[in-house]
Homo-oligomer: A and B are copies of this chain.
Amino acid sequence: MASDKPSHRFDPNFTDQVVNGMGPNTTPRNRQVLGALIRHIHDFAREVELTIDEWMEGVKFINALGEIYVKSNKTRNEAHRICDVIGLESLVDEIAHKIVSESGMDPTSSSILGPFWSPNAPFREMGDVIFQDGVPAGGRVVKMHGVIRDITTGQPIPNAVFDIWQASANGKYDFQDPENQTPNNLRGKFRANAEGRYWFYCLHPTAYSLPRDGPSWQLLTLMDRHPMRPAHIHIMVTHPDFQGCTTQLYPSDDPWIKSDTVFAVKDDLVVDFKPIQGDDKAVLELEYNVNLAPKGYKGKL
């Protein structure tokens, strides 16, 4: 953005001096990324005439991010959450996954990973429940099912891994809620069958607030913004021959869907949960088919 501030008051050579301080053995990519980062940070400081006190508040803020990370035994990644609150994770996700197919079948839109994915989720049997601690108060059981397909052929992809994680009916994930949930509650991986199908039982998702303490809450308060995320289910679908898809699904009737505080909602990720017939284990069903692009597939740029 152009600035009408008198930034020419300041030494016009200073930023070049810093960027050109990089030595000959910097990799081209590091030179590009770090050079652009330094230029944008300097331009920002000149544009707003950042004060020393404001800059020092920024340093304190950065230290507070790491402090909460250490003190929470690395379960509370506020540095990650701050990136979500300013839309950076959503933007980086868009940059990484902008594919428009040539076949008319688009890959499922990606959305942000967020700070709650776990590498330790267990494989479960197809058709199993992921609420290993039982159905919580207020929880509504959903049978979720669908087919995973190749966008270039429309054919099913056998053996893809479908990883799901979600907050409980109180809006908390397992590691935020050790009094009520055992590790890996409401998490699970399922291996799609020979017809590319998956099915299991989960909960209708619940809208929740980002934590109302700590650095991200401080930033939201400075920006006069609400801390709510619409209800959502996280999924990550992977297969060795396909580009994986990490995304989130949102109930179409959620009140926060137009103002998600981490800017992660996309139109094709908004879904309808429907009353189920003939299954006494669930009250709702969600059919969701996932479309993957083969590895190396670029589509139309």
A5 to chain B, nearest CB (A): 10
Complex interface residues of chain A between 30 and 82 (CB less than 8 A to chain B): 30, 32-34, 36-52, 54-55, 59, 62-71, 77, 79-80
Given A39-B1, A66-B67, A224-B23, A87 and B32 touching (CB < 8 A)?
no
Q: How many copies, total?
A: 2
Is B52 a contact partner of A93 (Cβ separation < 8 A)? yes
Q: Which residues of B contact A70 (CB under 8 A)?
A: 66-67, 70-71
Instruction: Supply 23 A–B pairs (Cβ within 8 Å), ascending by A.
Output: A1-B39, A1-B43, A14-B263, A17-B87, A22-B225, A26-B222, A34-B223, A36-B44, A40-B41, A40-B43, A42-B87, A42-B88, A45-B88, A45-B91, A46-B91, A49-B95, A52-B92, A52-B93, A62-B65, A63-B66, A65-B66, A66-B66, A66-B67
Given A23-B224, A224-B25, A225-B21, A63 and B77 touching (CB < 8 A)?
yes
Q: Given contact pairs A6-B301, A17-B263, A65-B66, enumerate 16 new A-B contacts (beta carbons under 8 Å).
A: A1-B36, A11-B94, A23-B224, A23-B225, A26-B222, A30-B222, A30-B223, A32-B48, A36-B47, A37-B86, A40-B47, A52-B93, A59-B77, A62-B62, A62-B66, A62-B79
The proximity string for A residues 263-301 relative to B, scoring 1 for CB distances below 8 Å and 0 otherwise, is 100000000000000000000000000000000000001
Q: Which residues of B contact A46 (CB under 8 A)?
A: 91, 95
The proximity string for A residues 219-260 relative to B, scoring 1 for CB distances below 8 Å and 0 otherwise, is 100111100000000000000000000000000000000010
Is B38 a contact partner of A92 (Cβ separation < 8 A)? no
Q: Which residues of B contact A32 (CB under 8 A)?
A: 48
A184 to chain B, nearest CB (A): 23
A225 to chain B, nearest CB (A): 6
A196 to chain B, nearest CB (A): 26
Asked if A24 CB lies within 8 Å of chain B CBs, one says yes
Q: Which residues of B contact A25 (CB under 8 A)?
A: 224
Asked if A98 CB lies within 8 Å of chain B CBs, one says yes
A22 to chain B, nearest CB (A): 4
Is B87 a contact partner of A18 (Cβ separation < 8 A)? yes
CB nearest to A42 among chain B residues = B91
Residues of A in contact (CB 8 Å), total 73
CB nearest to A31 among chain B residues = B223
A113 to chain B, nearest CB (A): 8
CA distance A2 to B42 in the complex (A): 15
CA distance A48 to B95 in the complex (A): 10
Q: Which residues of B contact A44 (CB under 8 A)?
A: 36-37, 40
Q: Which residues of B contact A17 (CB under 8 A)?
A: 87, 263
A266 to chain B, nearest CB (A): 10
Is A22 a contact partner of B71 (Cβ separation < 8 A)? no
Contact of A33 among B15, B48, B52, B263 (CB under 8 A): B48
